[in-house]
Amino acid sequence: MDKNEYYAYKSVGALFQLKAKQYGEKTLFRFKDNESGAWNDLSWNMVANDVNLVSCALLAIGCGEKEIVGICSPNYHYWTITDYAIYGFRGISVPIYPTSSPSQIKYIVDETNMRFLFVGNQDQYDKAISIESSLEKIIVFDSSTDLKNDDRAVYFSDLLKIGEENRAAYSKVVENYLANATKDDVATIIYTSGTTGEPKGAILKNTNFFFAFYLHDIRVKVDDTDTSITFLPLSHVYERSWGYYIMYKGSVIVFMDDPKNILPMLKEVKPTMLCTVPRFYEKIYEGIWDKVSSWSKTKQNIVKWAITVGKKYSYRKKEGKVIYIGLLLKQKIAKKLVFDKINSVLGGNLRLSPCGGAALSPKIVEFFHSIGLMLNHGYGLTETTATVSCYETQGYEYDSVGKIMPDVEVLINEDNEILIKGDSVFHGYYKKEDATNEAFDGGWFKTGDAGILTEKGNLRITDRIKDIIKTSGGKYVAPQMLEGMLSHSSFINQIAVVGNKRKYISALIVPEFSKLKQWAADNGISYSDNIDLVNNEKVVDLFQTEIDDHCKDLAPFEKIIRFTLLGKEFTLESGEITATLKIRRKAINMIYAKEIENMYS
């Protein structure tokens, strides 16, 4: 299909209505009732009915054409119903992370002059009513939330009733709005969590998402027999764009409001697809090898043999080489003895997993490919609709983020910065003309990421331009490279490398406490809490050994000289990491200023 054929859909909302007519009684949404534990299936017709009710209700309570409406909630199915409903009056949805602080919510509400906000549960509701703002209505998904007599508040279930009462008056209005929608309408404003500075609202139009559909149809095989779980926040462009695409393909979408439940959910749902970030697979990889290490030598050797066979098989497959009968037979034996058991941890049916948002170790990609899972590493930003590059079925390299998508232009400038042109690129930052101008160079979007194109034409990310550390001795150090190397240690959960304008490199390290506590028990180390544990001399020595082992091949100026073990994780709530688990260095430098200074005193 030509990309222009995708643009004929007018808007994501209009596309949804077309698909609802096509699929009718087929299941679209699936979610679990948290109280009863029962699964609920909603057909396309049922979802389309609720979408229409919400559109009518919002018009009835005062929403106007192209109104900005916010959604601050976990991944309830109501989230997506609301998102599609906002398209019913050519509205603009503004997602807000459910973990956002009151000040972060206020910033977005104030900048957009938002009047209507949907929230998930008590936590988001309490934050919304605590701020002085332009909000006129706060619609609450969770009916158990205490509304505290705020006259602006209404439950989502009551909003549906308002929609029912006003359907006759507004259904035709909604129909006309959808018919008059255009591909150039603003679809959403997504505020970047960012690794530095204040949030910026990236403006994305329907065109951006339709172009992403066009590219996905070229690179991945998805159809209406597939099932995908919403694991990442719907407030993030990555999960949002993926959700739109699988809606377009007619796949079943399973909602999960608590990402901590992902492993039992995978076993229960048995999805065929999962959109996720590298840290998820890093933890799975570590867990698998931790378990294998406790087995007998015979079983360990069988696993190692199977992985070796799987690597040879997947290598020849990705290089388009002939797979000889002997290797094919060995691969079938390896699958039955080992791979099926490993894959059962992920539900047993997972075949495709788009993965991006951060660096991913080549050995982890190779491992999952060897057991038969197409872990499709890719690259994109909010400003590029999460779409720049990804693996093709052949010719990819494990240390890359795949080949540039068709009709996307990439330029590596003299500073090795990756610049992008194409229909996936956003249309500026909302109310931030200076920031928009700064983000472009002669029509090219400046990603802020450093990279190279390999001989095979794959894109390799080398670091984040703004994150490059320059020591007081004038040496340049790539912190993400160091962090990536040390993340291979099973004892390290999170790490932030520091040292800009300092005489040597240091690091703040969050241990993998489950692993460390088992090691402490095995070595007879007693402790009262996490802080007591990380201050233990033997524990410090253990981490020194881990650092030395993983950094032995580095130049002296790149090596970590001092480190501090922390007693708690970096969190999204505290502003230390982004939604895709990237380190926010500016925040960490402020929060841990004392600890950092102590490493240089």
State the distance between the two ends of the chain, measured CA to CA, in whole angstroms: 63
Q: Is 338 within a domain? A: yes
All residue ranges of the chain with pLDDT < 50 are 195-196
Nearest to 302, CA basis, from 326, 329, 334, 327: 334
How many Å apart are CA 460 and CA 24, to the nearest integer?
43
Looking only at the bridges linking them, the beta strands covering 492-498 and 505-511 are antiparallel
Q: Is 531 within a domain? A: yes
Structural domain that includes position 65:
3-181
User: 130 and 22, same structural domain?
Assistant: yes
- DSSP characters over 22-61: HHTTSEEEEEE-TTT--EEEEEHHHHHHHHHHHHHHHHHT
Q: Exposed, middle or buried: residue 225 (CB in 10 Å: 0-12, 13-18, 19+)?
A: exposed
Q: CB under 8 Å to 82, separation ≥6 — which residues?
A: 54, 69, 71, 93, 118, 139
Sign, Cα dihedral of 256, 261, 263, 269? negative
Residue 310 has what pLDDT? 97
Q: Which of 181, 213, 236 is the last residue of a domain?
A: 181
Nearest to 83, CA basis, from 275, 255, 224, 277: 255
Q: What's the longest Cα–Cα distance across the chain?
A: 74
How many Å apart are CA 166 and CA 272, to the nearest integer?
40
User: 145 and 21, same structural domain?
Assistant: yes
Give how many domains the chain has, as a whole number.
3
Residue 321 has what pLDDT? 95
Could you give the 3-state DSSP secondary structure of residue 91?
Answer: coil
Residue 195 has what pLDDT? 47
Q: Exposed, middle or buried: residue 254 (CB in 10 Å: 0-12, 13-18, 19+)?
A: buried
Residue 584 has what pLDDT? 84
Q: CB under 8 Å to 415, separation ≥6 — which residues?
A: 450, 465
User: 282 and 176, same structural domain?
Assistant: no
Half-sphere exposure of 575 (CA within 13 A, CB side): 16
Q: Is 234 within a domain? A: no
Output the domain CATH number for residue 118. 3.40.50.980
Q: Is 153 within a domain? A: yes
Rg of the chain on CA atoms, in Å: 25
Output the domain CATH number for residue 509. 3.30.300.30
Q: Which of 379, 414, 446 is the last residue of a domain?
A: 379
How many Å apart are CA 407 and CA 420, to the nearest integer?
11
Residue 194 has what pLDDT? 52
pTM of the model: 0.85
Q: Is 219 within a domain? A: no
How many Å apart are CA 188 and CA 237, to the nearest integer?
10
User: 374 and 474, same structural domain?
Assistant: no
Q: Which of 339, 360, 379 is the last residue of a domain?
A: 379
Q: Is 243 within a domain? A: no
AA letter at 115: R
User: 170 and 22, same structural domain?
Assistant: yes
Nearest to 107, CA basis, from 75, 131, 88: 131
